[in-house]
Structure 1
Amino acid sequence: MSSKTLAEISAVMRDIDITMLSTHAENGAIAARPMSNNRDVDYDGDSYYFTWEDSHMIGEIGRDANVSLGLQSDKHFLIAVEGKAEVVRDRSAFKDHWNPDLDKWFENGMETPGVAMIKVRATRIHYWQGEEEGEIVL
């Protein structure tokens, strides 16, 4: 069914900065918010995002790890990722995914109190480009 490889999807994702990360709110509603992937895409099925430990999405992931990511390139390539999220609090793990652009959001960089990293492990990727569409199951 899929004519694109994971490497080809990764190349497209690398050029997309903003991802819509969707979680399940406490009342069962779907909650979506924009997150920057900071061009950290050597995509093997894992995505990483930095946020505040006390954000709603951290609690939502704690209750239900099923999340989705929505991306659209400026060339009308659309990607929907389904996956499982986990919250990473180990600051030594931040180093591999930290980008200096994040310093504008987190005043003391990786050492800013209250920073957490969300890791999303993809289980399914669906994509569309014009009339072409495909799916990759991981």
Structure 2
Amino acid sequence: MTLTQADLAERMRAIDTCLVATTTPEGLETRPMSNNRDVEWDGTSWFFALEDTGLVKQATADPHVLVTCTGEHGLWIATTGRARVHDDRTLMAEHWDPDIDRWFEQGVDTPGLRLIEVVGEHVRYWTYEDGDGEIDLGAAAPTA
């Protein structure tokens, strides 16, 4: 069975942690990031980080990123896309989840807080039950 973007979105609701890979002069760097669950995934993923972290610096220097997620029952998802870093507090509030307070105790008012938007361009998935597949999200790269 071929999965649709809506099928993947439904399955991603149960996934809290993704790996986000960015490019550095030395190669790739990957780190776990909260997917914040309970999100309506439309091909775009949102992550919070501080401005002085590698994620923010690397995504600003080269917006090409890879977001991978692993779900229950043999599900793996890899989304390639482009990142855009935001410092807009209103936009941050729209994507805030109280679970993030453990990392950013001052909420959206945390000094240096940034919101990374990853606009997905292409998804590959692998499943035990439904086979493997690809979805072209047809997303345009975010503009500055």
Provide the C-alpha distance between the structure 2 equivalents of 1:49 and 1:125, rounded to a whole number of angstroms.
Answer: 18
Deviations 1:1-34 (A, max 9, x none): x81111100011111111000000133x110000
Question: Is contact 1:21-1:35 (8 Å) kept?
Answer: yes
> In the alignment, which residue of structure 2 is the partner of 1:31?
29
> In the alignment, which residue of structure 2 is the partner of 1:19?
18
Deviations 1:67-93 (A, max 9, x none): 001111121100000000000111110
Pick aligned residue for 2:100 from 85, 99, 102: 102
Deviations 1:12-62 (A, max 9, x none): 1111111000000133x1100000011152111110000111101111111
Shift of 1:96: 1.3
Question: Is contact 1:106-1:112 (8 Å) kept?
Answer: yes
Question: Is contact 1:26-1:60 (8 Å) kept?
Answer: no
Provide the C-alpha distance between the structure 1 equivalents of 2:42 and 2:100, rounded to a whole number of angstroms.
Answer: 22
Per the normalisation by structure 2, the TM-score is 0.90
Provide the C-alpha distance between the structure 1 equivalents of 2:38 and 2:110, rounded to a whole number of angstroms.
Answer: 20
Q: Does 1:41 align with 2:39?
A: yes
Pick aligned residue for 1:56 from 54, 57, 63: 54
> In the alignment, which residue of structure 1 is the partner of 2:142?
none
Letter in 1 for 2:47: Y
Secondary structure at the residue paired with 2:95?
coil
Per the normalisation by structure 1, the TM-score is 0.94
Provide the C-alpha distance between the structure 2 equivalents of 1:70 and 1:104, rounded to a whole number of angstroms.
Answer: 23
Provide the C-alpha distance between the structure 2 equivalents of 1:106 and 1:62, rounded to a whole number of angstroms.
Answer: 21
Aligned length: 136
Secondary structure at the residue paired with 1:82?
strand
Provide the C-alpha distance between the structure 1 equivalents of 2:48 and 2:36, rounded to a whole number of angstroms.
Answer: 9
RMSD: 1.2
Letter in 1 for 2:12: M
Provide the C-alpha distance between the structure 1 equivalents of 2:38 and 2:63, rounded to a whole number of angstroms.
Answer: 21
Q: Following TM superposition, where does structure 1 have runs of at least 4 consecutive aligned residues deviating by more than 6 angstroms?
A: none
